[in-house]
Amino acid sequence: MEIPFNKPYITGQEIENIARVIELKKLAGDGEYTASVQKYMEDKYGFKKTLLTTSCTDALEMCALLANIDSQSEIIMPSYTFVSTANAFALRGAKIVFADSERITPNIDVNKIEELITEKTRVIVAMHYAGASCDMDKINSLSEKYNLIVIEDAAQAIDSYYKNQPLGTIGALSTFSFHETKNLTSGEGGLLAINRPEYIMRAEIIREKGTNRSQFFRGEIDKYGWVDIGSSFLASELIAAFLMAQLNKKEDIQQKRRSLWNRYYNNLSNLGASNENLLPIIPEYATNNAHMFYLTCEDIEERTKLMKTLSSKGIKSTFHYLSLHKSNYYKDKHDGRELSQADKWADCLVRLPMFTDLTYDEVDYISENILNFYNA
């Protein structure tokens, strides 16, 4: 049996939607399907405004521009995250101040944030790992105390909640990913969600290469021109059409993924008795959108042996992020603090196959081989 780590799910409606785009001869962004995607997200989750982008990376770069980040700014974020989280602000010249992760989840340790705040701190980035929320009450209390902007990196967190509030609606700005590894995909693609009205008009300008083109097409001005810095961040109608097909099947996709996640957890539940951190822990304030199922090994040697064992059985597993504070690019810029929990997740976390077309038999086969590994 050969089981890949990921296989993008196709609903069957994607080709029909793309054919309509071609028929309409409207391939560039901000057409019918872009409007439909944005309306869906705003109606479903309550964002003030959403803007479809070519990637979550682009949406993060828009956040940095909207927050007026420059070389005098400091940004607090977890070290255990994807490089795009940091790159968006590094591109503006900001100093990245990395925080450690929690012991029981890879999310940022909110109890380690306040000691990192200085008079130059502008932003706290909350990255919701595997779709499970950070402790947003504590982050928001620091934001209010020190007048900081909270940005949610919700790349993995579509359809997940914090105390019944949709992730992405809590910070001033938030970003989502529709990469082919995500629950809902358009191959590449992202979304900027805006929760403060004062950011909306400038976000439209930044997304349209620094022009007020969107206002022109709405008939609000008689001509458009260059009014701010920006770039070409908007996605094509082809991406939007593909994504709309996925959104129309979101409930079915999420139901299947949650059932797969629960089957993994139930199959492996006995292993938790010997290692309390082996199985994923979902905090009581968070929900689980079944983006990922991962195990946390005791050390890198155990993880290497487990991955080799699974590979020998035709099962593709993988680790995830490396600590950014130790990266070749940033290690000489880091302030030298030890971030032991971030390093633990970098060394010990292993992701198992998780995709909508995964079968229950395949989950059982993977689980059986993991049980055999630990019970040998």
- What residue ranges define each of the domains in the chain, with the CATH number in brackets? 14-247 (3.40.640.10), 250-375 (3.90.1150.10)
- Supply the DSSP symbol for 182: S
Q: Where are the alpha helices (DSSP H) in the chain?
A: 14-24, 32-45, 56-66, 83-90, 136-146, 200-207, 213-217, 237-247, 250-268, 300-312, 340-348, 360-375
Q: What is the pLDDT of residue 335?
A: 95
Q: What is the pLDDT of residue 86?
A: 98
Q: What is the pLDDT of residue 125?
A: 98
Q: What is the pLDDT of residue 255?
A: 98
Q: What is the pLDDT of residue 222?
A: 81
Q: Which of 281, 349, 270, 271 is nearest to 317 (CA)?
A: 349
Residue 166, both tokens: 């949709």
Prediction pTM value? 0.96
**CA–CA distance, 17 with 245 (Å, rounded to integer):** 7
Q: What is the pLDDT of residue 1?
A: 85
Question: What are φ and ψ of residue 162, in 5° steps?
Answer: -120, 115
Return the amino acid letter for 277.
Answer: N
Q: What is the pLDDT of residue 366?
A: 98
Residuewise pLDDT in 10s, the chain (376 residues): 899 999 999 999 999 999 999 999 999 989 999 999 999 999 999 999 999 999 999 999 999 999 999 999 999 999 999 999 999 999 999 999 999 999 999 999 999 999 999 999 999 999 999 999 999 999 999 999 999 999 999 999 999 999 999 999 999 999 999 999 999 999 999 999 999 999 999 999 999 999 988 887 777 888 889 999 999 999 999 999 999 999 999 999 999 999 999 999 999 998 866 677 899 999 999 999 999 999 999 999 999 999 999 999 999 999 999 999 999 999 999 999 999 999 999 999 999 999 999 999 999 999 999 999 999 7
Q: What is the pLDDT of residue 273?
A: 67
